[in-house]
Amino acid sequence: MTGLQQTRALALAIPVGLLGGAYISQYGFGLYPCEMCWWQRWPHFAAVALALVSFVAPPQRVWLALAGLAVITSGLIGGFHAGVEYGWWEGITGCSTFAPDVDVMDISAAPLIRCDVAPWDLFGISLAGWNFLISCIGGAAIVAFAAYKK
């Protein structure tokens, strides 16, 4: 596998893996996303599209670098979200959403998904925090590998 092929694989695997984890958390474990969680998903969708374009359109390294920057963007949003969850700074006011599959006409029955509460953590790091770590390190690697020429 060449360096360019490895970079393509990485540029596709990181956002697909993180989106897959988000959807498994949502539909498998009932951890519904808040508004800021959705903000983190959009750059990953863009990164997947950019990584796929790199398979067919030149210049491949540019598409891969853009995919890496999209992954980093998601990570930075995740870092901001994690800071809100940990109480390091104040988040966006009104940042909450209702869980799906509820009668929105009966607000009293609708669980509210808040942006300033981490619904789950591993080793004290929330999902947003993990997205920050994985996306920033992985995205930087993608950009670095895409910029490297033999």
- Condensed to tens digits (0 to 9), the pLDDT of residues 24-36 reads 999 999 888 888 9
Q: CA separation (Å) from 51 to 25, 45, 86, 105, 142?
A: 24, 10, 32, 41, 10
Give me the DSSP letters along 94-107.
Answer: T-EEEPSSS-TT-G
User: What are the structure tokens assigned to 29, written together?
Assistant: 């474990």
- Condensed to tens digits (0 to 9), the pLDDT of residues 28-72 reads 998 888 889 999 999 999 999 999 999 999 999 999 999 999 999
Q: How many residues does the chain have?
A: 150
Q: Provide the β-strand partners of residue 48.
A: none
* Domains of the chain, start order: 3-147 (1.20.1550)
Single out the residue of 143, 91, 89, 141 nearest to residue 115, CA to CA: 91
**pTM (predicted TM-score):** 0.85
User: What are the structure tokens assigned to 23, written together?
Assistant: 């959807």
